[in-house]
Structure 1
Amino acid sequence: MTELNILFRKRIGISEDENIGFEKLEHVLEKTAQSIPFENLCIIENKTYEITKENLINKILVRNEGGLCYELNAIFYFFLIENGFNAFLVRGGVYNNETQAFQQLGRTHVTILVNHEGQTYLIDTGFGGNLPLKLVPLTGESVTSKNGEFRIKKENSVHGDHILEMKLKHKDTDWKIGYAFDSSKPVADISELNEIQTIICEHPKSPFNKNPLISLFTDSGKLILTNTSFTQRIDGVITKNKMNNKKFKELAKQHFGIQKDSDC
């Protein structure tokens, strides 16, 4: 078993001798969402690194930090490959439901597609609080998880040939667009993700280069920490507390296991 396989299992609390078949993937997705936070601290601290398999292992599995979609889904992709799955990374564009338009960042979302027994499924561990927490088939069939309902429509757009739609639990009453993605253009090499990181870091419209954000799922909901507030959603009940820099550092460590001033 490789170092990545051993460390990933340790990080999410799955034993080395457990066989991860297709039927176990939803369990693995939930464990991952509850163990590895979605966060942008390295970008805020201007301490990014080249996206390589080795650097992802070091950041996420050795230093026990989190990351954004191009990091979280990349490390999960490597884990899938090493456990025998036919997986590949694809790029897409995130939709802004407030402006009713795609974000002006291009195809900067990275997600995973898995082929299994003639069927293709979307797997995403890097979409913040919007994770399906289940495999979503590209057939249009909706799936339901603790986080809501999710489905994929085959529809051409500027960002690809499919669209992920979602109806988040305790939040949405109607379907809304999450992102579009291109199933026909897999990421050819992991180095391609460096272009995405550069855009996320430098683009004036990037939502991740202005203020710190950490989010993580729990058994009963999710946690969201910013530099101004700490939000806990437990069984649909929301509590929100104001934040300052000292409290941010304390809660980042206490609830997410992240030392804010660590090397990124």
Structure 2
Amino acid sequence: MMGEAVAADAQNELDGATLSSGMFLPGLGAPITPFGSGDFCMPTRSPASPANADGDRVPDSVRIAFTGCGFAAGTEADTVRGTIDIVDPTPAVADRSVKTVFTDLTWVHVRDGKVRSLVVNGTRETDRDASVISQIEKDFKSTYTFPDGSTASHDRTWNSTFTADAAGSIQPDAPLPSGKLSIDGTSTWTHGTNSYSLTVSTDPVLHYNASCSARPKFDAGTIKSTVTRNGATSNVTIAFTACGQFTVTRS
């Protein structure tokens, strides 16, 4: 479970990474949960015409709300609810920096009567240009519910850097191009009454493949975690081998 969640959170680093105005949400044309797929609905945006003092693509503040968003096919169904606030951290300076605040952003996936869900809360600050995206997350929390009914949370403080394979190919409010993702930081994984401290890095860095249809959209690279609990230390390695495929090794 820990390995699956850490892999999903690595993918989540890139969801909405090019987001600026909220007029279009990259990655949200379909559910961005690691568990589901399918069509999606358009969220609401308020205010409809937010202020933009510096005239860049990032408004001073706008809220994107997901209500009544869902998709069902056969024995599967996805729903999404919650809000994302998009804030310009430099409202007097025209640039590409943006702060996104996630409040109870919830994905629920049902398959054959079994439910998985993910709830995201926290703040992410992003600085971008056409080739590189740098992000900082502090106390960013993902809460998981698994098909067996158990729950877990991953509360992390991560720094990440995405570098496009083709320089100059990152465009605001457009799908992210292929590129390399490095992550480093610390986190706390809690499952039931057990709590673990993690130190996370990528070596080699992850390769994001924009053409992947399966999540996580990494086809190479490794996440290495040093895990500590009650003074005992172990290592967890997550190696990505192809789109949506990875192996978890513990030592």
TM-score, normalization: structure 1?
0.27
**More helix by proportion, 1 or 2?**
1
Identify the structure with bigger relative contact order (alpha carbons < 8 Å, sequence gap 6+): 1
TM-score, normalization: structure 2?
0.28
